[in-house]
Every structure is written in structure tokens, then in C-alpha cells.
Structure 1
């Protein structure tokens, strides 16, 4: 066997003293294929405005003279800026940030999960949740959703009471389905954890894309010390390369995360970039309405093809069931368009891009439908 082959590397991995719960596991990963239209990982595909690029350059330049020193460990200025952006009466003590919302969630599990404890979420949902559980040696419990991918307050609460998890994550708008979860569900789930004193995390990574009038769980924070709202600058802000996720919670939750975070975990450069972006939040978020329009355009276009898109409050659309989703995925790739096969039977997910990118996707779908490739499952 070639030691450098995939099989050889797996054999060498198996020989290491790996934790038992990681044996046979697969890492997170979406295909990274360089094609003209990349609509597979829910990025904001609009380029940064010139004024924002200039502000970021100036902010980074301001850090250069002190790069030989550790950054502000408490990133106090950034936390205050994030609090101002969120509003709802929050201040810096309520905010925490890390290198992407995945690290935020990992720190939550490091503090409140771990051996002998459980994490519960409601698949189909973000595929990183069980991976984060495995990485922190937290047992993962999968709840269920309705056939339309929604959660009902009574059903979600009953599942939580039955499983009594230590941490619950509700993703809204949910990835990969795009469905929003009402505040009544969050209230019911939180109430169901009173006996176990569980942490309830609401992952609002796509909150800025929700339809007008959709309420944020930030409204529920007062009086709920175990409620955590997770956000990111990767999506609506178009800052995926910055790796800046954050949360809002009671100050004692952020105190708990200080016990597990690595020293100086946010670099001076990351803090400078995020601060510049927040100063120019209006310019960055100006693309959100266009993305929402393209999302709704995708829903309309796929509906005309009879492909049953799921109503979405995010910057992506789930559609299907398809007769042959693999053939559709490859048919799009052949035309230079990549979308996501998220492993949900018969369904694919496409991000809403620019008008030109959305047009390229929809035009190719029309071609594939005419060729008998993009057709509904019988």
C-alpha cells in the first residue's frame, strides 16, 4: 500500500492513540472547487465596498507598530461595538467573540458540555453541531422536526424534557432548510430546561436575511440567564475570511467562557478588521436586501420548474426532492456553477448570489429541466 495514499494515511491515523469517539469520524468539509459561480457555502458573494476596504486597511495598519505585543485579551472595544450593533439594551459585558461562530459554540461546549454531558439539536440542521460535540467529548442527541422542517413549541419542549440535555442548540433561520423558528418555540424550549438548568443556544447566523418582521431571540434575553444568542460576521457582513463570530448572553456566561478560551484568542488584526467593518455596517449590510431578492427569485424560479423549494428566511434555498440530485449537481458543475449536496435525501441547497450568479444558476436549471435531468422525484 502506498503510504501517501488515502488508505495509507487512514491506516497511520488508526495507529495513533486517538480518542475512541473520534475513530472513524469524518472532518467537516464542503468541496472547494474553483469555478466561476460558487453558491455552495452560503457566503455573501458581493465584494466589499471600496470605502470598507480602505477602512480595514487603515485599521490593520494601525496595529503594525504593536504586533510584537499581545492583543487586548478582553477585546473590550470590539465587544462594545458589537453591543451597539445588536442594541436591545446590551453592553460589552453581554458580548463575547471568537474566531468564527464555530469557535464560539466550541467554547460553550467546553464550558457546559464535556464527558458525561449531552448536546441536543434538531436535524436536519447545521452539520457542525455533532462534530463540535465529538470534539469536546460531549454526547450528541438528535431531536426531530416536522415534515415541513419546522419546530412546534409543544413538540420541541417535550423532546427536551425527555432527553434532559445539558446544552440545546436551536438554529434559526435553520441551516440547511432556511426555516425560521418562532420565539414561542425558544420560550418553550427554555422553560423545558428549568429543572436541568441547561444552556439554550439560539444560532442566528443568518438572522439578518430573515423576512421583515421576523423577531430575534435577542428579545428574550432579559430574565433568562441560560439563554445564549450566537451570531456571525461571515454571512450578512460578507466577512467570512475574517473569522469573527460572537454571542450575546448574561455576563456570567461570558465569565464562564473566559475559563476555557485560549489566551489572546482574537488577534489584533482580527479585532481591527471587525471594528472597521462595524463602523461601516450600513455599507456592508446594503447588500442584504439584494441577496434576499435573489433568494426569493430562486424560490420563484425553482417553483416554476416544479422543484418544491422550501420557504427560506436565510441567504440560501433548499429544494427537492429530486429524481437524481447527483446528476443535477454535476450538471450545474459542468456549467461552472457549484451548489451544495448536504446529504439530505433527494435535496440540494443553493446560496443566493449576485443577480448575475443567480441568473447563471437558474438558466442552467432550466436547461437541466428541459433535458429531463432536473425533475422531481416520482
Structure 2
């Protein structure tokens, strides 16, 4: 029997980084620290309470969670937001899909600048949105002249900017985002600019968030996730901040009751421990900076990082280095431009294993 698969999906493999059973997993930018016993206890209690009502559908607009997320962003970034400026979904992946469902589609274009997150073109593909990838500068910053020219030429309905960028770790200055917003304002029919701050909490001191631009730009959406800084990758909670009118557009395309009562309870419980979890983020920033310094001291080229990972190289045969590390029980990611590898920041013991394995494989 022949299945009527969409032609553009024929022969494609599903997205996913390798999931291998090795001692040191440093390939998917997870927070290496599990929730504390206190956080686990609070989650368990709140989920148990939510379980008593699982015969009923959850609050489809999850107003309590939106209030908590707005309060958290206010403390984290100093930007006052109302609950109706917040949206949430099952991971930032679903957030991005909602955005492309609402503002992309046949006859429309999504634009980004490579190298960047490899799922972006898949969101476009899945919503029948044309995909265009411009190029970043050699240092992985955004060349605003090139960006503006691309916007003028392609007239996109959605622009996706990751800051910090994955896989490079590069954060965007607000001036660069403002330049993109100015060009987007001139797009016929309108254009939504999405700043994906999945790793925003890991940015270095003095690096601002695009949340600061929301008040002046109703076509701006700033996406975050609880997977990284909060150590909740398994809970699948992503969210964004934007103008209420933009949020209302996402409410049209979301599936009914898309965020379960259990998910809402887990997220709200974790948010009540935000201060404890952010203290942990500080140690990961320090370990990231130490990793960058160590790699540079040994002659590697390393991209400046505001995330919880480091892109380094350059290798004539990066796969051989990746394979050599894997054979020594260390899994990192073979991703990004040719010749580069990406390592997530793990525990001190895991980073020591990575350093020892790299010294051996690279012959340092």
C-alpha cells in the first residue's frame, strides 16, 4: 500500500540528537543538575493535588501559570509584564510551531541567519512556509546590513533570531535586534520578529534581554524555556512574551487544552524555587567561562558564549574527534559549521572527563 505522504516529507528522517548510553552526556545542552529534593517534593505534592482533578479538562488558558511566568520574568530581566502578554506550550518547540502556524503558511516566508538552530527550517517545512537562511558574519554575529538587505529582498512574515544563538552561543546586542525590527516594520503585510532566548538566563553580566524592547514593538515575540536554566527538559515547558494581540493569534492555532494540568502544576512548582535554581545557573556560567579559557589556552578556536555550551574547533576531521571522545565515554555534538564541535557544560566531574578525553584524542 502506498501512503499519501506529503511529497516534501518523502525520505526524511526525524529530527534528533544521538541518544547513547555513555557515562558523560554533553551533547544536548541539558542542565546537568537534577532538581533538588525540595523541588522534587514540591512538584510531587502539587502534581498529587492536580491528579485529584484529572477527570476534568485543565484550564485551557493556564492563567495561574501565566501570572507566575510574568512575575519570574519581571525579577529575572526587570521587565514588567502582564499575564496576557505570556503564552506557554509543550516546550519552546511547540511555541515556535504555534508562531509559524499563525504567521507562516503557504505563500509566506520565514527568514533566519545561519548557522543557527537546526529545527527552524523544520517548523517552516511543517507549516508549508518557505524557508530562507541568510548568513551570519565570520564571528557568528549578525551583520545587520546583510540582515536588512535580506528582509527587503524576501519580505518575510516571520524572522527567527536565536540569542544566545544555538549552536554558537552568540548573543545579539539590542541595537541589532532593533535594526531587524525597523526593517520588519517596512515589510508589506507585516512581519513578526521572534527572538529565541532559550538560553537567556546563561547570558553574561551586562547582556540585555530583548524583553526590554517589547513595549515599543507589538510585532516582537521573545521565547524562553524551562528546559535549560530550570533543569526541566523532561517536563516540556516553553513560553514566550509578546503583545496581547500577538498572544491572541496563538490562541487561535493551539490545540484545545494543549497544556495538561500536570504540566502546569510541575511548572508552577519549579517557578516557586526560581531563586534557588538561578543560583545554580551562576555556577554553570562560571564553568562555561572556565571551559572557554581552557580550550583557548590549548590553541583551539572558541566562539564567545552566552549559553550553557561552547562551540570550538577547528578540526580537519571533526567526526574523528567526536568518535574518539565517544569511545572514551564522552558524548558531545557534531553540529554547526564544518570543522566545529559543541560541548554542553556539565558537572565539574563531567567537564574533567571531557578535558582528559580531548587531550588524549587531540594529542595535546
TM over 0.5: yes
* Contact 1:151 1:181 (8 Å CA) reproduced: yes
Q: Does 1:24 align with 2:11?
A: yes
Q: Does 1:53 align with 2:35?
A: no
Q: Does 1:309 align with 2:298?
A: no
C-alpha distance in 1 between matches for 2:9 and 2:33? 37
2:96 to 87, 102, 105: 105
| 1:307-346 equivalences in 2 (<5 Å) | 307-346=300-339
| 1:1-378 equivalences in 2 (<5 Å) | 15-87=2-74, 88-196=79-187, 197-370=190-363
CA displacement at 1:343 relative to structure 2 = 5.0
Q: CA RMSD in A?
A: 1.1
* Contact 1:325 1:347 (8 Å CA) reproduced: yes
C-alpha distance in 2 between matches for 1:138 and 1:305? 44
* Contact 1:49 1:284 (8 Å CA) reproduced: no
* Contact 2:60 2:259 (8 Å CA) reproduced: yes
C-alpha distance in 2 between matches for 1:155 and 1:219? 24
C-alpha distance in 2 between matches for 1:154 and 1:188? 9
Partner of 1:9: none
C-alpha distance in 2 between matches for 1:152 and 1:144? 8
CA displacement at 1:369 relative to structure 2 = 2.5
C-alpha distance in 2 between matches for 1:223 and 1:309? 35
Partner of 1:375: none
C-alpha distance in 1 between matches for 2:10 and 2:192? 28
CA displacement at 1:85 relative to structure 2 = 0.5
- Secondary structure of the 1:353 match is coil
Q: Cα deviations across residues 61-84 of structure 1 (Å, max 9, x unaligned)? A: 111111111001110000000000
* Contact 1:153 1:184 (8 Å CA) reproduced: no
Structure 1, unaligned runs of 5 or more: 1-11, 372-378
- Secondary structure of the 2:357 match is helix
CA displacement at 1:333 relative to structure 2 = 0.8
- Secondary structure of the 1:122 match is strand
* Contact 1:307 1:322 (8 Å CA) reproduced: no
C-alpha distance in 1 between matches for 2:81 and 2:296? 41
* Contact 1:160 1:193 (8 Å CA) reproduced: yes
How many pairs were matched up? 358
TM-score, normalised to structure 2, is 0.96
- Secondary structure of the 1:142 match is strand
TM-score, normalised to structure 1, is 0.93
- Secondary structure of the 1:349 match is strand
CA displacement at 1:18 relative to structure 2 = 1.4
C-alpha distance in 1 between matches for 2:317 and 2:292? 19
CA displacement at 1:156 relative to structure 2 = 1.8
